[in-house]
Amino acid sequence: MATIRVLTAVSGLDFSWKPGDLVNLPDDVAAQWADGMRAEYADQDPPRAPAGDGPQAPADTNPPADPDDPDNPGDQGDQGDGPEAPVLFDPAEHNVKDVLAYLDGVGEQEALRVLQQEENAEEPRKGIVGQRGSILERAQANDEATERAAETSRGGGRGDTIETR
Within a domain: residue 70? Answer: no
Structure confidence at residue 34 (pLDDT): 85
User: How far is Cα 165 from Cα 163, in angstroms, rounded to an integer?
Assistant: 7
- Domain of 13? 2-41
Q: What is the pTM of this model?
A: 0.44
Residues ≥6 apart with Cβ < 8 Å to 155: 161, 162, 163
Count of the separate structural domains present in the chain: 2
Within a domain: residue 102? Answer: yes
Within a domain: residue 55? Answer: no
Whether the pLDDT of residue 76 is over 80: the answer is: no
Mean pLDDT of 13-32: 88
